[in-house]
Amino acid sequence: MRAPHSPARLALVFLLGVGVIAVATASDLTENEPPEFAGPPALPIRIADGRSNTSGILQVWDEASEAWGSVCIRPSAFRQSEEFWSELAVLACRQMGLASQMSVLVNPMSTRYPWRTHKIANALPAKVMVKYYMSGCSNAGSAQSMFDCGDQLDVLENTQPDCSTAAQELGIGQVWMPVAIACRGAPKLRSPPPAPPTSPPPPPLRQMTYSFRLVDPVSGKSEDNNGTKIQQGRLEVLLPKDGSSLPVWGTVCYNPDKPALPGFVLRHICRSMGVPSFYPWVWQGAAAGSTYPPAPDSVPVHWIAAAGCTSDAIKGTLGCTFTPNVAEALALVEEHKSYWDPLQPYFSSADVLLNLAQSCAKGGHAMDACLSCYGARGRGTVHRPAHLARPGPGPTLLRAWASSHFSPTPAGPLPRGESTSPPEAPAPAEEIRNDVELEYDTIFDGALYTVNFNTRAPGPPPTDPTFRGTVCALEDWTGSEHYGSQRALAHTLCRQITDGKRPFGIWMDSHGSFPGLSDTVLSEWPVVLQSLDCSRSGGPVGTADLVAVRGDSTYRGVEFMSIPNNISFCQATVVDPIPSSVVDACGGYWFSQARSALSCRTQDYLSISSYNMMSVRLTGGDAEGTWGRVEVLYRLPGRGPVWGTVCPAALQRRHVQAICRDLGLGWEGAALWPSSRVSGAPAPWRMDRVSCSGPYDPRLYLGQTPLLSLLRDCNSASNTPLSLCPTDEDAVIFCGGAGATPTPSPAYGSSPPPVYGPYGGSPPVYGPYGTY
């Protein structure tokens, strides 16, 4: 049968035995296809011998033999799965006028096809060879058909008897097979699931002052012969036993296979005892092979885990949502086993908590936690009795941990679950500490900010000229002296620049792709500040009007810090001489803030899903900005940040609500509107698919429900330039509901920040939107 040549949307559909065949010519393109691409001529293709006209063996018409030949592929392509998404599949389905966004190449031996298909596949002649099935189509962005992907395909001049013979003739292998295809469109949105069964919510998080001690397992003492607290021993906490009002010392179970004691909680424990806390080391004290004797049976096991915790490093308090013993853990499993979602952020499943409780019950005091509270290198010796052997080699320490402002926890009994107000530990007050002036510029239509600082040399009168430049980046990894300083500076700058509207900042490394931030320019950037540390300048957390997460966290713990109103409250260190080169002052531009631009947002973060998702905005809507076309600023490989639109099929209602929250707009009534509401020029890029994780939301630790953020928790799931969405369709959304989303800061107080010294009510701000 000769293939038809007249242009038609679907040239021929007919039945052949039990198989359904769909045939298309090169002009069988939907009206929403990309612009023409001057590639090789496309041959007619069809789907045959499948269960429908959208799934079956992919075949190509051979003019010379007037017969259909198969498209061949290596069997190893389906080693991991019976099918996989491919640009070739999308282009082939699009060429036939079928749904194409989620099209896949399929193993013809798949159980989805009848035995007849398997038998026919092996006997089909070969016409096209898929040389590289793992790589993408280099012309995918402008391709009209699968034949435009010449780098992936080898079209034979004449058909061969079968795929394996063709491969052997070409010298590319011994065993090849025909490939099948399934043409699929975007998945349809499903109806909301039924309401989940009711389950008790987690208990509220309460800040407490716990009493901890380390005990020598042999002598039972917590001090050495010199009266100094030991810094290595069995960990014990003072709590009531079995509901009694009288507290007793008890142990903490530790299972190294199911660790449930976050590192920052261990650091808090060491600090609360007034011993070094730079690097705590925990292990099983009386496990098999250990010489440590277990605690007496009369000593209770108070904790088997500490989950959903936060510590106030200034007040010296610790708050945890869950610190169960064995009985309490088993009761939690029984109470929530029918619906685990409320506890899932703390324990990934009921089995995890159940196994932890069972292992601690079975192991008893053989699983008691022992703790070593190490100081930094060169910061003193760990005090421990001579018979307590150090458990393995100690860690390599890089910097000192400055913990002089932390005071030990006052001793004394404290019933479990009871909140108390501990004596105020010395805390840095929020006060004016410098006269550094902020200067900023906007890039990418105001989405990001580049910042510089103006300051004077130390000592000169205020009439002397200022010098302009950047600041060196402080090391703020967990446990370092300036832990949280990078985040705190970003938050403070955003709070100052946006007047508190978007107070949470994220540093976006330029990677040489930002305007004016090339490697050559950055290497010559002047430096005026050795450091600008805002991480301990916002006053006590308990009275701050804005708090944020101190650093990267896990689902089991987080530490908060207060954020000052502007950089005048931060601790500034001016370089000497001023200005200095970025190499001399910082060790290179990579270790300065000049390398980064600032993204200011409404949502705080535990972690970031992707630093490629930089900003979001609504365009073409109303003057108030409550609705419009969704546009995202996204860093594309090899192109840098580019504003693009979003395919409507990529957004579910939760994504729409997340965008509205990111914009500080009402979100409960958010909705996806027709694309026709906004007319605008096509964007140079479009996000066709969205993938989200998390949410990495600090609300989890503030007794609130975690909420999704597009900028924080989501990423583009498209790794292809091939458009998977009609060119005239862009997502348009409406943001409405209960008003702007509040920042996830607890209502610690509403006292106004101090006035900015001689400048009155606001610090000097330079730039196109400044007020100075």
Domain at 662, CATH number? 3.10.250.10
Residues 589, 719 within the same domain: no
What was the pLDDT predicted at 761?
32
Q: Is residue 111 pLDDT above 80, yes or no? A: no
Q: What is the DSSP letter of 554?
A: B
Q: Determine which of 341-355, 608-622, 670-684, 745-759 has the lowest per-residue pLDDT on average.
A: 745-759
Could you give the CA distance from residue 189 to residue 131 in angstroms, rounded to a whole number?
A: 36
- Between 183-187, 423-427, 471-475, the lowest mean confidence (pLDDT) is in 423-427
pLDDT at 285 exceeding the cut of 70: yes
Alpha helices, DSSP H only, in 548-668?
582-586, 653-662
Residues 679 and 654 in one domain: yes
Model pLDDT, residue 643: 94
Answer yes or no: do 64 and 98 share one domain.
yes
Domain assignment of residue 187, yes or no? no
Question: What pLDDT does residue 752 have?
Answer: 31
Q: Say if 394 falls within a structural domain.
A: no
Establish if 279 belongs to a structural domain.
yes
Confidence at residue 762, expressed as pLDDT on a 0 to 100 scale = 36
Q: Reduced to 3 states, what is the DSSP secondary structure of residue 735?
A: coil
Q: What is the mean pLDDT of the chain?
A: 77
For 480, which DSSP code?
S
- Percent of the chain at pLDDT exceeding 70: 76
The predicted model scores a pTM of 0.60
Q: Which of 154-163, 185-194, 709-718, 725-734 has the lowest mean pLDDT?
A: 185-194
* Same domain membership, residue 579 and residue 478: yes
CB 562 within 8 A of CB 449: no
- Domain extent, residue 244, equals 207-374
Is there a single domain that holds both residue 226 and residue 305?
yes
More confident residue, 522 or 723: 522
Of the candidates 242, 528, 573, 215, the one whose C-alpha atom is nearest the C-alpha of residue 365 is 215
The per-residue pLDDT for range 226-260, each reduced to its tens digit, is 888 999 999 999 988 876 678 899 999 998 877 77
What type of residue is 441? D
521: pLDDT strictly greater than 60: yes
For the chain, what is the domain count?
4
Asked, for residue 769, whether it belongs to a domain, the answer is no
What does the alpha-carbon distance between residue 598 and residue 442 come to, in Å, rounded to a whole number? 9
**3-state class (DSSP) for residue 604:** coil
Handedness of CA 669, 741, 708, 746 (dihedral sign): negative
**224 and 310 co-located in one domain:** yes
Contact between 275 and 380 under an 8 Å Cβ cutoff? The reply is no
Residue 3 lies in a domain: no
CA 181 from centre of chain? 34
Band (344; pLDDT cuts 50, 70, 90): confident
Q: Which two tokens stand for residue 238?
A: 């003072």
Chosen domain end from 374, 407, 432: 374
Q: Which pair of structure tokens corresponds to residue 165?
A: 């013979």
Cα 653 from chain centre: 20
Asked if the structure places residue 405 within a domain, the reply is no
Residue 32 in this model has a pLDDT that exceeds 70: no
Cis amide bond preceding 577, omega within 30: yes
Question: For residue 717, what pLDDT is reported?
Answer: 81
Q: Are residues 101 and 43 in the same domain?
A: yes
231 and 339 housed in the same domain: yes
Residue 315: how many other CB atoms lie within 10 Å: 20
DSSP string for residues in 340-409: -GGGTTTSSSHHHHHHHHHHHHHHGGGGBEEEEEE--TTS-PPP--TTS---SPPPPP-S----TT--PP
Question: Do the domain assignments include residue 540?
Answer: yes
Higher pLDDT, 674 or 556: 674
Say whether both 138 and 213 belong to one domain: no
Tokens 């546009």 sit on residue: 631
| Average pLDDT value for residue range 627-652 | 90
Same domain, 642 and 573: no
User: Do 365 and 466 share a domain, yes or no?
Assistant: no
More confident residue, 187 or 762: 187
Q: Is the peptide bond before 564 cis (omega within 30 degrees of 0)?
A: no
Of the three residues 544, 566, 601, the one that is the final residue of a domain is 601
Q: How far is CA 524 from CA 162, 461, 471, 582, 674, in A?
A: 64, 28, 13, 7, 50
Q: Tell me, yes or no, whether 544 and 670 share the same domain.
A: no
Asked whether residue 693 is assigned to any structural domain, the reply reads: yes
308-343 tens-digit pLDDT: 887 765 567 788 888 899 999 999 999 888 888 778
Whole-number CA gyration radius for the chain:
32
